[in-house]
Amino acid sequence: MIKITNLQKNYKDFSLSISLAVPAGTVTGLIGKNGAGKSTTIKAILGLIKPDGGTIEVLGADPRHFSSKDKENLGVALSDSGFSMMLSIKEIVKILRKTYPEFDEKFFLEQCKEQGLPMDKDLKDFSTGMKAKLRVLVAISHNAKLLVLDEPTSGLDVLARNELLDMLRNYLDQDNERSILISSHISSDLEGLCDDIYMIHKGQILLHEDTDTILGQYGILKIGEDEFAKIDQQYLIAKRKESFGYSCLTNEKQFYLDNYPNIVVENGNLDDMIMIMLGGK
Amino acid sequence: MNGLLEKDILILIKQKKLFIIYIASAIMLSFAMDSTFVVSYFTMIGSLLVLTTISYDTFDNGMPFLMSLPVSGKTYAQEKFLFSLIGLFVSWGTGVVVHFITILLQQKEFDLLDLLGMDIAFVPFFLIIISVMIPINLKYGADKGRIVLLVICGLVVGTAFLGKKIFMDLLKDTDRIELEYFLAKLSSLPKYAVLIACFVIAFVIFFIAMKISSGIMSKKEY
């Protein structure tokens, strides 16, 4: 669905240099701090910026030369951009009807009703949660093969985030070939939805791993300085200085559980991984 | 393109209060001023509405999303030109109708062909105006666009003024007589021929501007 090879994009104070792939039928997450390069990557995938180097293939085409047909197969939700705030859902339906040949009006209207989105109110009077739900609904209502979602859950409370993620799960259930690339800085959203995750930092991919592997094999060791000096460090990916000693990230949790039964080994989760990998010394 | 056109029309309908003010003030002014004023006023408002839609598209960072819809930069630019053309002709037509009603109400004598001829002359003029305005707005945005437009206007007027002065100074007396003869011949041409020539020139400029705008939008990053 998406294949990025050595994508390069240089700005005055930021450079992006990544490779990434989203196979058919998978949900891939892009996680990183604000300003890490997630939105730049998504803009390049959508053909909104011109890469300085490398190649991007989305649904078999170069995004800078997308045809209308190519774009019809894409469902897009951007965190900071959408339909004019002057429009209402009723009016947006008229636009979508003329924009996407496969726009499923019935589904869209049903979902709007289910999510409690008012039909006649202008978008400027919508809450943050309503706007976010509408953006995702627009993306999933025209039988797109690939969804590209930039921070779709940003600014939402836990309940609204779960409702939005459920909408995405329902979209995936319709067809095994459908794929999603979703960026977020909220790790729990990605853990529950994605098949694999790319961690991006300062324009580089720091880690790419299956979510199951992260949750199953990765762990956090919490050890004092003396113990740290004694243990086998070959399976430690990163470490962070703490008041008690070190927090260490490993991708071989079982090795330390088997060989060092006295060490505290916590299960891996994205938040801890980010803390250690991005904030570690 | 149909979706974009629908969007622009819907956004304009939302501003219906503004339209009512425009129309009311135009009708009032048409009684107070020269009766052709109403046609030029309506045509100007109608043809420049497209610039309002460009501003609305860029509000709240709307362009990245619009460009992720199944449209290309080229289609976006073409839609703006088509929309401006629709706006121009609808507003011109409204202006002509108001113009005729005003004259009938004022019970003035008039020659229908003469009057229509005067009204039609506004069309190529405003076609050229929008052909200059759209690419500038697409390239520089609404705020910077105004400054660029002022600079261009200054350059055009300045060049024309200086060019004429230098040209006339260089001309010999015999050449000057020939030029005057040529200009006199030009002004004796039938009005319809001049009008057709104006339309041809305006549409050529319009299509060149559309091509330039397509290029601007295709190269733009969001």
Q: How many angstroms separate the CA atoms of B106 and B34, rounded? A: 12
* Cα torsion angle, B213, B214, B215, B220, sign: positive
Q: How many angstroms separate the CA atoms of B145 and B133, rounded? A: 8
Residues A54 and A192 in one domain: yes
pLDDT band at B67 (very low <50, low <70, confident <90, very high): very high
Domain that holds residue B184: 2-219
Residues A202 and A230 in one domain: no
Q: What is the structure's pLDDT at B49?
A: 84
Residues A201 and A225 in one domain: no
Indicate the pairing of strand A74-77 with strand A264-267.
unpaired
Contact of B54 with B138, CB cutoff 8 Å: yes
Chain B residues inside the 8 Å CB shell of A136: none
Residue A130 Cα to chain centre, angstroms: 20
pLDDT band at A94 (very low <50, low <70, confident <90, very high): very high
Average pLDDT over residues B86-99: 88
B173 exposure class (CB count in 10 Å sphere: 0-12, 13-18, 19+): exposed
Q: Which of A195, A213, A231 is the last residue of a domain?
A: A213
Q: What is the structure's pLDDT at B188?
A: 77
pLDDT of B146 higher than 60: yes
Instruction: Encode A133-145: b = buried (16+ Cβ within 10 Å), e = exposed.
Output: bbbbbbbbbbbbe
Residues A135 and A76 in one domain: yes
Q: Name the region of A143 (left: φ>0; alpha: ψ -120 to 50; beta: rest).
A: left
CATH number at residue A12: 3.40.50.300
Instruction: Name the closest residue on chain A to residue B61, using Cα atoms.
Output: A81
Average pLDDT, chain A: 90
Q: Which of A3-7, A58-62, A196-200, B182-186 has the lowest mean pLDDT?
A: B182-186
Closest-CA distance of chain B to residue A100, Å = 7
Q: What is the structure's pLDDT at B175?
A: 74
Residue B65 to residue A84, Cβ atoms within 8 A: no
Residues A128 and A38 in one domain: yes
Q: How many angstroms separate the CA atoms of B39 and B27, rounded? A: 10
Residue with the larger pLDDT of the pair B154 and A9: A9
Percentage, residues of chain A above pLDDT 70: 99
Instruction: Name the closest residue on chain A to residue B58, using Cα atoms.
Output: A84
Residues A160 and A275 in one domain: no
Domain count, chain B: 1
ipTM: 0.85
pLDDT of A279 higher than 90: no
Residues A225 and A189 in one domain: no
Average pLDDT over residues A62-77: 92
Q: How many angstroms separate the CA atoms of B176 and B178, rounded? A: 5
Average pLDDT over residues A117-125: 93
Closest-CA distance of chain B to residue A86, Å = 7
Contact of A79 with A149, CB cutoff 8 Å: no
Q: What is the structure's pLDDT at B60?
A: 83
Residues A205 and A242 in one domain: no
Chain B residues inside the 8 Å CB shell of A71: 68-71
Contact of B56 with A84, CB cutoff 8 Å: yes
Residue B71 to residue A68, Cβ atoms within 8 A: yes
Cα atoms found within 13 Å of the Cα of residue B121, Cβ hemisphere only: 12
Domain count, chain A: 2
Residues A207 and A233 in one domain: no
Chain B residues inside the 8 Å CB shell of A48: 64, 67-68, 221-222
Indicate the pairing of strand A246-250 with strand A219-223.
antiparallel
Mutate to test the interface with B, among A99, A103, A145, A146 (most CBs of B within 10 A): A99
Residue A94 to residue B68, Cβ atoms within 8 A: no
pLDDT of B42 higher than 70: yes
SS3 letters for chain A?
Answer: CEEEEEEEEECCCCEEEEEEEECCCCEEEEECCCCCCHHHHHHHHCCCCCCCEEEEEECCECHHHCCHHHHHCEEEEECCECCCCCCEHHHHHHHHHHHCCCCCHHHHHHHHHHCCCCCCCEHHHCCHHHHHHHHHHHHHCCCCCEEEEECCCCCCCHHHHHHHHHHHHHHHHCCCCCEEEEEECCHHHHHCCCCEEEEEECCEEEEEEEHHHHHHHCEEEEECHHHHHHCCCCCEEEEEECCCCEEEEECCHHHHHHHCCCCEEEECCHHHHHHHHHHCC
Interface of A with B in 109-148 (CB under 8 A): 148
Instruction: Name the closest residue on chain B to residue A138, using Cα atoms.
Output: B69
Contact of A237 with A249, CB cutoff 8 Å: yes
Q: What is the structure's pLDDT at A18?
A: 94
Q: How many angstroms separate the CA atoms of B135 and A4, rounded? A: 33
Q: What is the structure's pLDDT at B204?
A: 96
Q: Which of A159, A180, A213 is the last residue of a domain?
A: A213
Q: What is the structure's pLDDT at A185?
A: 80
Residues A198 and A260 in one domain: no
Q: How many angstroms separate the CA atoms of B67 and B57, rounded? A: 10
Closest alpha carbon to A9 in A33, A59, A43: A43
What angle, rounded to 10 degrees, do the helices at B2-13 and B37-58 form?
A: 110
Residues A96 and A122 in one domain: yes
Closest alpha carbon to A76 in A179, A128, A147, A137: A147
Token duo for residue A52: 């300085």
pLDDT single digits (tens) A128-145: 889 999 999 999 999 999
A229 exposure class (CB count in 10 Å sphere: 0-12, 13-18, 19+): exposed
Q: What is the structure's pLDDT at A280?
A: 52
Q: What is the structure's pLDDT at A269?
A: 80
Closest alpha carbon to A128 in A92, A98, A102, A152: A152
pLDDT single digits (tens) B159-181: 888 887 787 777 777 777 777 78
Residues A90 and A36 in one domain: yes
Q: Which of A19-28, B13-22, B135-144 has the lowest mean pLDDT?
A: B13-22
Residue with the larger pLDDT of the pair A58 and A226: A58
> Which member of B5, B62, B72 has the closest CB to residue A81?
B62
A100 to chain B, any CB pair closer than 8 A? The answer is: yes
Contact of A153 with A165, CB cutoff 8 Å: yes
Residue count of chain B, please give it.
222
Instruction: Name the closest residue on chain A to residue B14, using Cα atoms.
Output: A86
Domain that holds residue A265: 218-279
Mutate to test the interface with B, among A40, A66, A84, A147 (most CBs of B within 10 A): A84
pLDDT band at B105 (very low <50, low <70, confident <90, very high): confident
Average pLDDT, chain B: 85
Q: How many angstroms separate the CA atoms of B168 and B50, rounded? A: 40
Sorted by sequence, the CB contacts under 8 Å of residue B74 that are 6+ apart come out as: B214, B217, B218
Contact of A270 with A219, CB cutoff 8 Å: no
Closest-CA distance of chain B to residue A49, Å = 5
Q: What is the structure's pLDDT at B34?
A: 66
Q: How distant, in Å, are the alpha carbons of A34, A96, A185, B20, B196 from that of A274?
A: 13, 39, 10, 57, 70
Token duo for residue B57: 């598209």
Q: Which of A213, A246, A262 is the last residue of a domain?
A: A213
Average pLDDT over residues A62-68: 90
Closest-CA distance of chain A to residue B218, Å = 9
